[in-house]
A and B are shown apart, each in its own frame.
Chain A
Amino acid sequence: DAEITQSPRHKITETGRQVTLACHQTWNHNNMFWYRQDLGHGLRLIHYSYGVQDTNKGEVSDGYSVSRSNTEDLPLTLESAASSQTSVYFCATAPGLADNEQFFGPGTRLTVL
């Protein structure tokens, strides 16, 4: 069955370290998204991609970067982790602009000390 996997599922890191969260999908979807979820906020869009070599900034992109070298993967990098980036991160995919149901991965809980 097609799926979205995220790794690691839990991560603890220190302020200032670079951290990369992985997202891998076997849906063969063109569109991929990264969100963060915090108490008191709805999911907020960090970065998104509509295909290989395409990346775009979302609502809360400062301090984050992504790259899309193939269809299956969209890794999210925190260049220099800050305590404000402690959150649960979700990757999502969608098959195309017209089909806008997004399918979510299981999430990564990141704690920055």
Chain B
Amino acid sequence: KNQVEQSPQSLIILEGKNCTLQCNYTVSPFSNLRWYKQDTGRGPVSLTIMTFSENTKSNGRYTATLDADTKQSSLHITASQLSDSASYICVVTVNNAGNMLTFGGGTRLMVKP
């Protein structure tokens, strides 16, 4: 069964600090991996996308990495801001499956002043 596991489930950090969120997946065949940010009371919004051949992708202070051999991804947030408080969801697309996504349970990040 295709699965996406994220850790930690929740995280509290101080403003200005860095953090790294983890994602392990067993989805096969793999097409791509996205990280979504979901603010409280809102729908998820895509931050980054990586295909099989990409190792890293940045979007401002967000940097995602992908190791397709070990089926692991991470999202690193640099110099965190209060507005980074949200849930971060790892989403893997199954290849040749018509837009089907497998979602992780998310990491809830709280940035405190």
Contact = CB atoms under 8 A, between A and B. Distances in A.
Interface in B36-55: 41-46, 49
Contacts of A43: 44, 89, 101, 103
A104 B89 contact: no
Interface string A38-50: 0011111100101
Interface stretch (A14-22, A61-69, A74-82, A90-98): A90-98
A4 B43 CA distance: 10
A102 B41 contact: no
Contact of A100 (B32, B89, B106): B32
A40 B32 CA distance: 24
Given A42-B4, A42-B89, A42-B106, A100 B101 contact: yes
B42 A101 contact: no
Interface stretch (B12-20, B57-65, B66-74, B92-100): B92-100
Contacts of A94: 99
A42 B32 CA distance: 17
Most buried by A among B44, B100, B106: B44
Contact of A104 (B45, B99, B102): B45
A100 B59 CA distance: 19
Contacts of B41: 106-107
Contact of B43 (A97, A100, A101, A105): A105
Given A45-B100, A97-B99, A104 B44 contact: yes
Nearest to B93: A100
A71 interface: no
A25 interface: no
Instruction: Rank and list the top 10 A-B pairs by shortest CB-CB distance, nearest first.
Output: A104-B43, A42-B103, A43-B103, A100-B99, A42-B105, A104-B44, A100-B93, A105-B43, A101-B46, A42-B104
Interface of B: 4, 31-32, 34, 41-46, 49, 89, 93, 98-106
Given A33-B99, A94-B99, A101-B46, 7 more contacts: A42-B4, A42-B102, A42-B104, A42-B106, A90-B44, A92-B43, A102-B101
